[in-house]
Structure formats: C-alpha cells, structure tokens
Amino acid sequence: MNESGDQVTATIRVALVCVVAVLQFGLSLPNLLRHDYDPRSLAVAAFAGLACVTVGAAVWALRRRPLPEPVVAVGIALVLAASVAATTATPAADRFGPADWAFGLIGWHLLLLLLDRATLLFAALGAHFAVAVGHFLTAGIPSRAALGTAGIVVIGTGAVQLAAAVISRLLSTRARAAMALAAERDRLATRVLSAEEWERGRRTAFAGHLGATLSLLADLADGLLDPREPETRRWAALAATQLRRLFAENDDVPDPLVHELAACVDVAERRGVDVSLAVSGAAVDVPDQIRRDLTGPVAAALATAGTRARVSVLRTDGDVRVAVVSDVGAPAAPANSPGVNVESGTYGEYTRMEARWRRQS
C-alpha cells in the first residue's frame, strides 16, 4: 500500500531537483555575480552550501530512493546556515529584491529535503522566514514601499512553496488510497475466484459420489445386485459413508478433520457397529484434498467393519495420522494423493489401517 505513495514522492522529488537546479544555477547565480554583498565571501559560501545540498539530494532523488536521515539532517543544517549567511551578507537596501537571491531559493531546498516530513518542513520554513523578516525589521524602520514589497515577496513565496508541499502531500495520499483500493479489489477478486473454484470442486465431488450411488441404486432396482449379499451391503455402506462425509465438508466447524471422521463414525453406528473415536493433539489446518485422502480409507474401513471398530487421530508438529482398527474387513487401498501414505494389514481377526500426512515444515 505504501509503495505507490513512495513512488509518487520519488517522482515529485526528481521534479524538485530539476526546479532547484534551474532556480539556483539559472536565476540565482547571475544575481549573485551581478550584485554587491558585504562580505561577498559569506554570500558565496551560502551559495556553495546550497549547491552541495542540491547535488547531495540529487544523488538519492535521481535513483528514486528516499533521502537517509543523516543526509536530511546535514542538509537542513547547511540550508539554514546558508539562510543566515545570505541574509546577513545582503545589504539592507536590497532585501527581498533581485540581490536577495537566497530568500526564495532556501524554501525550495527545504521542500526538496523535507518533502515527506511535513511537520519538519513547516518548522524549517518558519525558521527561515523568521530569520529573513527579523533581519529586515531590525535593520531600521522600513519605508512603506519597502514594507509593501517585503510583504508581497514573503507572502507570495511562502504561498507558492506551501502550495507545492500541500499538493505533493495530497498526491501521495491519493496514490496510497488508490493503491489500497486496488489491493482490496484484487483480494476480493481472488476470494471470488477461490470461492468459484471451491464450488466447482464441490460440484465435481458431489457428482462423482452421487453418480456411484445412483449406479448402485439402479443395479439394486434392476435386480442386478442382491441387498442380502455382504458385498452389496458393504458397497451401500461405503456409498452412505462417503456421502455423509461429503456433506460434512460443508459445515463450518473449528476442526473439520475430526468433524468429517465423526460423520463417518455416525454412519457406521447407525448400522449397528460399536465405534469409538479417540483424538490426540490440537487441531491443525489440513487442506481439503488431504482431508479427503485421510478420511477416504477410514470410510472404506468402517464400511467393512462387522461389530466394532476404533478410530484414532494423532496430530503432532510433524504429521497427522488417522488409524482404524476393525474386527472384519480387507486392507484399504493406498490413497491416490502422493501427500498421504496408507498402510494396512490384517492381524488375526482384526484389520488395521493407518493414513499418514506429513506436514510441510
């Protein structure tokens, strides 16, 4: 969000470098060479100090990088010192006239240094104006014409420089607001695309499981399958468990994995299987597809369970394990996902299946 505002500030600072260079070397230098100063060396030193600030600021501004704080601090010191020196060296009769080349130039140097520091900018400009006006008033009682000229120059110069500072600030603020709005629009578009992708995935999953269930129901209706056969009952139990788990994916719960396993357990209990569910470890974020690959073998194992089964969940910092021990059944097939490993085997009258997902570190 801040990057766009910083780019606007950098662009304005590049423009200010060009303005300051033109004003100093194109307009102020001829006035310095044309008029007399007392002492001239003080006026020349002030001009040299301002030239050093211009060159130093240009080194950073032209690379579109913010001015470091030490550079700003040294620059402000040089500019304010140049303000005092140039004001002191300018004869009283020439104050706020062509010979007073430094008065308007100082403000542009301060704007160049403090473009992104509004409070310091206004304070430095106030100090510069106070030095110039104070020195003008202490030199003697000015005439009405001199006082009017001084007022026009001070007000005009200050208004232009303050307007430039305010406009720069507004441009930077508007750029940040536009960047924030664009970022929010991008986030909303991403969320919409994610929601649409999720919805398509859900429809595809539902269509796949519903198609298998409808095929099973059609075979039962046509008499191709005998509901009294154990294999038919196992297929029906598996289809019911998978659909129940799929419905559970839509629920907004703090622990989706355990919630979907509980849905599988509920289907098994409804057909008379005594099932216990043990959970160890805090809830972790498991991607949707990984949850399907973890719970799919559980659904298959519970569909083959005879009278009892035990489902356990173990979650650690490194992995998530889901295991089922049942009294009847065949080993589950390995998961399709490369992220989930399934191990199963028969030990006497019991079948054990374990699905394991190693979390990415």
- The pLDDT tens digits for 45-83 are 999 999 999 998 888 888 888 888 888 899 999 998 998
Q: How many CB atoms lie within 10 A of CB 55?
A: 11
Which pairing describes strands 319-326 and 350-358: parallel, antiparallel, or unpaired?
Answer: antiparallel
| CA dist., res. 98 & res. 82, Å (int) | 17
Pick the CATH number of 226-358 from 3.30.420.40, 3.30.565.10, 3.90.550.10, 3.20.20.150: 3.30.565.10
Is the pLDDT at 234 greater than 60? The verdict is yes
Largest CA distance in the chain: 119
pTM: 0.52
| CA dist., res. 67 & res. 93, Å (int) | 38
| CA dist., res. 268 & res. 298, Å (int) | 11
Identify which of 47, 144, 31 has the alpha carbon closest to the alpha carbon of residue 94: 31
Identify which of 114, 155, 118, 115 has the alpha carbon closest to the alpha carbon of residue 133: 155
Q: Which two tokens stand for residue 238?
A: 């598996």
Residues 6+ apart with CB under 8 A from 290: 337, 339, 340, 357
Q: What is the location of CATH 3.30.565.10 in the chain?
A: 226-358
| CA dist., res. 43 & res. 63, Å (int) | 31
| CA dist., res. 333 & res. 297, Å (int) | 7
pLDDT tens digit string along 289-319?
888 888 888 888 888 887 889 999 999 888 8
pLDDT tens digit string along 267-287?
888 888 898 999 988 888 888
Share of the chain above pLDDT 70, in %: 81
| CA dist., res. 312 & res. 280, Å (int) | 8
Are 174 and 18 in contact by the 8 Å Cβ rule? The answer is: no
Give pLDDT, residue 244: 72
| CA dist., res. 303 & res. 236, Å (int) | 8
